[in-house]
Structure 1
Amino acid sequence: MLNKPVVYKKLLGTAILAAVFTSCVTGQLGQNVSGQYRQGMVVCAYPDAAQAGLDALKKGGNAVDAAVAVHFALAVTHPQAGNIGGGGFMVYRSASGETNTLDFREKAPASARVDMYLDSSGNIKPDMSLYTHYASGVPGSVDGMYTAHKKYGKLKWADLVQPAVTLAENGFKMTKRLANDINRNRQEFIKLNPGKGYLVNAQDWKEGDVLVQADLGKTLELIRDKGRDGFYTGQTADLITAEVSDGKPIMTREDLRNYHSVWRKALVGNYKSYKVITMPPPSSGGVALLQLLKSVEKYPLHSWGFNKDSTVQVMVEAERRVYADRSKYLGDPDFFKVPVDSLLNAAYITKRMANFSWAAATPSTSIQPGTFVGYESDQTTHYSIVDREGNAVSITTTLNDTFGSHIFVKGAGFLLNNEMDDFSSKPGVPNMYGLVGGKANSIQPGKRMLSSMTPTILEKDGKLFMVVGTPGGATIITSVFQTILNVVEFDKSMQGAVSAKRFHHQWLPDQVDLEPEALDSTVVEKLSRKGYKFSKRGAIGRVDGILKTQWGYYEGGADPRGDDTKLGF
Structure 2
Amino acid sequence: MNARILAIIFLITSVFACQPDEPSSKQPVMGLITDSAMVVSAHPLASQVGVDILAKGGNAVDAAVAVQFALAVVFPAAGNIGGGGFMLYRSHDGKTDALDYRETAPLASRETMYLDENGEVIEDLSRMGHLAAGVPGSVAGMVEAHKKYGRLSWSELVQPAIDLAKNGFPLTQKEAKGLNGNREQFQQYNTVTPHFATRQWAEGDTLQLPHLAETLMRIRDHKRAGFYEGRTADLIVAEMKRGNGIITLEDLNNYHAIWRKPVEGVYKEYKIISMPPPSSGGIALIQLLKMIEPHPLADYGFHSPQAIHYMVEAERRVYADRATHLGDPDFYLVPTAHLLDTTYLKEQMLTVSPTNATPSDSINAGDFSLYESEETTHFSIIDTKGNAVAVTTTLNGSYGSYVVVDSAGFILNNEMDDFSVKPGVPNMYGLVGGKANAILPLKRMLSSMTPTILEKNKKLYMVVGTPGGSTIITSVFQAILNVTEFNMTMQEAVNAGRFHHQWKPDVILIERNALDKDTRETLEEMGHRIEERGTIGRVDAILVRPNRELEGGADPRGDDAARGF
TM band (smaller chain): over 0.9
Question: 1:460 aligned to 456, 462, 477, which one?
Answer: 456
SS of alignment partner, residue 393 of structure 2: strand
The runs of 5 or more residues in structure 2 that have no matched partner are: 13-29
Residue 391 and residue 375 in structure 1: after superposition, are their counterparts in 2 closer, same or farther (change >3 A)?
A: closer
Tell me which amino acid in the other structure corresponds to 2:520. Answer: V
Aligned to 1:164: 161
Q: Deviations over 1:526-566 (max 9, x none)?
A: 11111100000000000000000111111000000000000
- Is this contact kept in 2: 1:31–1:568, CA < 8 A? no
1:26 matches 2:5 = yes
Q: Choose which of 147, 169, 174 in structure 1 pairs with 2:171.
A: 174
In structure 1, the partner of 2:15 is none
Report 1:295-306 matches (<5 A). Answer: 295-306=291-302
2:103 is equivalent to residue 124 of structure 1: no
Alignment match, 1:5 = none
Cα distance change, pair 411–312 in 1 and its aligned pair in 2 (3 A):
same
Aligned partner of 2:256: which letter?
H
Shift of 1:358: 1.6
Query: How many angstroms does 1:24 deviate by?
Result: 8.2
Paired AA for residue 110 in structure 2: R
1:94 to 91, 96, 102: 91
Partner of 1:78: 75
For 1:278, the aligned partner's letter is S
205, 211, 214: which one pairs with 1:215? 211
**Match of residue 518, structure 1, among 511, 514, 517:** 514
Q: What amino acid does structure 2 have at the position aligned with 1:272?
A: K
Question: How has the CA–CA distance of structure 1 residues 362 and 31 changed in structure 2, closer, same or farther, with 3 Å as cutoff?
Answer: closer
TM-fit CA distance, 1:347: 0.6
Q: In structure 2, the residue corresponding to 1:245 is in which secondary structure? A: helix
Deviations 1:378-430 (A, max 9, x none): 10000000000000000000000000000100110100100000000100000
**Contact 2:316 2:360 survives alignment (8 Å):** yes
Structure 2 SS opposite 1:72: helix
Q: Name the aligned partner's letter for residue 482 of structure 2.
A: N
- Report the equivalent of 1:445: 441
1:228 aligned partner: 224
Counterpart position of 1:276? 272
Show the counterpart of 2:384. Answer: 388
Q: Which residue of 2 aligns with 1:328?
A: 324
- Give me the whole-angstrom Cα distance separating, in 2, the residues matched to 1:70 and 1:406: 22
> Match for 1:69: what amino acid?
A
1:169 Cα offset (Å):
0.6
Distance in 1 between the 2:348 and 2:386 partners? Answer: 38
> 1: CA distance between counterparts of 2:373 and 2:40?
41
Please give the alpha-carbon distance, in whole angstroms, between the structure 1 residues aligned to 2:57 and 2:119: 56
Q: Secondary structure at the match of 1:199?
A: helix
2:139 aligns to what? 142
Pairing 1:60-79 to 2, within 5 Å after superposition: 60-79=57-76
1:103 corresponds to 2:80: no
Cα distance in 2 for partners of 1:311, 1:560 equals 24
Q: CA deviation at 1:32?
A: 11
Alpha-carbon displacement from aligned partner over 1:58-83 (angstroms, at most 9, x marks no partner): 00000000001100000000000000
TM-score (norm 1): 0.94
8 Å CA contact 1:111–1:249 kept in 2: the answer is no
Task: Name the counterpart of 2:55.
Answer: 58
Distance 1:254 1:341 in 2: 36
Structure 1 residue 377, shift from structure 2 partner: 12
SS at match of 1:235: helix
Query: 1:430: which partner in 2?
Result: 426
Look up the match of 2:344.
348
1:262-304, Cα deviation, whole Å (9 max, x unpaired): 0000111000000000000000000000000001001000111
Which residue does the alignment assign to 2:400?
404
Query: 1:397 & 1:62 partners in 2: Cα distance?
Result: 19
User: Is structure 2 residue 557 aligned with structure 1 residue 561?
Assistant: yes
- Give the Cα–Cα distance (whole angstroms) in 2 for the partners of residues 532 and 32 of structure 1: 40
8 Å CA contact 2:130–2:245 kept in 1: the answer is no
**Match for residue 542 of structure 1 among 532, 538, 541:** 538
Percent sequence identity is 58
For structure 1, list consecutive stretches of 5 or more residues without a partner in the other structure. 1-21
Question: 1:373 deviation in Å?
Answer: 4.0
Of stretches 393-402 and 25-34 in structure 1, the one that deviates more from structure 2 is: 25-34
Determine if contact 1:49/1:73 at 8 Å carries over to the other structure: yes
After TM superposition, give the deviation of residue 30 of structure 1 in Å: 9.4
User: Is the 8 Å Cα contact of residues 453 and 473 (structure 1) preserved in structure 2?
Assistant: yes
Q: How far, CA to CA, are the matches of 1:478 and 1:23 in structure 2?
A: 37
Figure out how many residues of one structure are paired with residues of the other and give that number.
Answer: 547
SS of 1:55's equivalent?
helix
Distance 1:567-1:248 versus aligned 2 partners, 3 A rule: closer
Separation in 2, partners of 1:146, 1:366: 46
Could you state the TM-score of these two structures normalised by the residue count of structure 2?
0.95
Q: Which moved more, 1:329-338 or 1:110-119?
A: 110-119
Considering only aligned residues, what root-mean-square deviation do their CA atoms show, in Å?
Answer: 1.6
